[in-house]
Structure 1
Amino acid sequence: MGQKISPAEPEGEAGVATAEQGVVLLDGPNGVAIAMTPQAAEETGRRLVAAAQEAASQAGAEAHPS
């Protein structure tokens, strides 16, 4: 019961986005797939870029502790 679950390794392979019949499809590794409206895809894209920039700065800060 007190067993600790280790977090999954982050995926290093990028997903592939396509547009078909007014819907944005995002295909990721290991069969991950999602369909979004154009508006949802745009907002998801903005959020992904912001999170990626934050994660990159965190990784840089961890590599160079003050």
Structure 2
Amino acid sequence: MSDEPRFLKPCDAAGQASAEDGVVILDGPDGVAITMTADAAEQTADSLRAAARQARAEASRQRDGLRD
């Protein structure tokens, strides 16, 4: 077994959210689906936005040859 970390290839396809019967359904790529309450969906959306901002900043620093 290798000591090198393994990274999954990030997916570039967005998930699609919908509301049905008072819950939020998030359909993702490769058949991934999750249902959650409206409150959980809002918290997830906030967390995703924050993580996306951080990931973009990290990618930009890497492109510019900078390290954290």
The normalised TM-score by structure 1 is: 0.91
- The separation in 1 between residues aligned to 2:61 and 2:8, in whole angstroms, is 22
Aligned position for 1:20:
20
**Within-5 A mapping of 1:1-66:** 2-3=1-2, 4=4, 6-66=6-66
- The separation in 2 between residues aligned to 1:60 and 1:54, in whole angstroms, is 10
Identity in percent: 45
How many residues of Structure 1 are paired with residues of Structure 2 in the alignment? 65
- The separation in 2 between residues aligned to 1:6 and 1:43, in whole angstroms, is 29
- The separation in 1 between residues aligned to 2:41 and 2:26, in whole angstroms, is 9
- The separation in 2 between residues aligned to 1:5 and 1:64, in whole angstroms, is 24
- The separation in 2 between residues aligned to 1:5 and 1:62, in whole angstroms, is 19
Paired residue type of 2:33? A
Shift of 1:5: 5.9
The structure 1 segments of at least 4 consecutive aligned residues displaced by more than 3 Å after TM superposition are none
The normalised TM-score by structure 2 is: 0.89
